[in-house]
Structure 1
C-alpha cells in the first residue's frame, strides 16, 4: 500500500515536533497554515497522536510515531552505499 498524500501531510506535521522534549508543542493556525496541514492536524488528533485538534503536544503514541517517521526519513535520505547494476 503506497503512502497517500494525507499520510505524507501527517508525517510532515509529525516531523515539526521537537525531537528532544515532549514539553514543546506546535500550533497549526488555520488562517496561516496550508489547508493540508490543518486537516493533517485534525486527523492526527482523531488518531490520538496529538493532544489538540490544532496541534498541541504529542501523545505517547504520537512521540513513537514521530520517532519512526524520522528514522524512515533518515534512512531514505542517506546516500546509497552499494553499487547496484
Structure 2
C-alpha cells in the first residue's frame, strides 16, 4: 500500500516536532501555512497524535509516531 498525499503531509508535519523534549511544540498558522499542512495538523489532532488542531504538543502516541517516522526517514536516507 502506497502512502497517500495526506499521509505524506502528516509524516512531514510529524518530523517538525523535536524528539528530544516533550516540551517542544509547534504552531501551524492557518493563514500562512500551506493548506496541506493545516489539514494534516487537523487530522493528526483527530487521530490523537497532537494536542491541538493547529499543532501544540505531541501526545504519547504522537511521540511514538515521531520516533518511528524518524527511524524510517533514517533508513530510507542511508546509502
Which TM bucket (shorter chain)?
Answer: over 0.9
- Normalised TM-score (structure 2): 0.99
Provide the residue aligned with 1:44 in structure 2: 44
Matches within 5 A, 1:73-84: 73-79=73-79
SS at match of 2:41: helix
Residue deviations 1:27-73 (CA, integer Å, cap 9, x gap): 00001100000000000000000000000000000000000000000
Count of aligned positions? 79
Alignment of 1:4-15 (within 5 A): 4-15=4-15
Establish whether residue 56 from structure 1 lines up as the match of residue 56 from structure 2: yes
Which of structures 1 and 2 has the bigger CA Rg? 1
Structure 1 stretches of 4+ with a deviation exceeding 6 A read none
Unaligned runs of 5+ in 2: none
Corresponding position of 1:82: none
* Partner residue, 1:24: 24
Aligned to 1:83: none
Query: In the TM superposition, what is the alpha-carbon distance from 1:19 to its structure 2 partner?
Result: 1.2
RMSD (Å) for aligned C-alpha atoms: 0.4
